[in-house]
Amino acid sequence: MKTVVKNRHTQEIIIESELDLKATVVANKNNLRFANLRGAALTGANLRGAALTGANLRDADMTSAALYGADLTDANLRDADMTGADLYGADLTGADLTGADLTGADLTGVKIKASQTNMIIEALRVKIIE
C-alpha cells in the first residue's frame, strides 16, 4: 500500500503502510483541512476532534472510526464506509455523503444542512414506509 497525504498547509507525505497512515492522520489531525485521503484505510482510527474540512475521503474505509466532534464540513465522503463510526457531535455541514454507508454509526448531535436529510437517510440504509 502506498498513500500520499497532502493538504494546503503541509508538504506531501508518502505513507507505506496502513499503520503509518493512521499515525500520520492522528499526528496531523489539526492540519488535515483539504487533505487528499481518497481510499484511505482508516478502520478504527482515532480522529476525535479532527479538522477535516474539505478533505477528500471518497471511498475511504472508516469502519468503527472515532470521529467524535470531528469537523467534516464540505468533506467528500462519497462511497465512504463509515459503518459503526462514532460521529457524535461531528459537523457534516455540506459534506457529500452520496453512496456512503453509515449503518450503525452514532449520529447523535451531528450538524447537517436541511438539504442533506435525504442523503443521511440513504446512508443509514433506512427504508421509509409510507
Q: Which fold, 1-130? A: Pectate Lyase C-like (2.160.20)
By the 8 A CB rule, do 103 and 83 touch? yes
pLDDT digit string (tens) for 96-130? 999 999 999 999 999 988 888 888 878 887 655 56
Residues 6+ apart with CB under 8 A from 20: none
Domain ranges in the chain? 1-130
pLDDT digit string (tens) for 20-59? 565 666 566 567 888 888 888 888 888 888 889 999 999 9
User: Please, what is the Cα angle at 82 between 21 and 48, to 5 degrees?
Assistant: 60
Residues 6+ apart with CB under 8 A from 127: none
Question: What confidence score (pLDDT) does residue 2 get?
Answer: 47
The residue written with cell numbers 452520496 in the block is: 98
Q: What is the DSSP letter of 116?
A: G
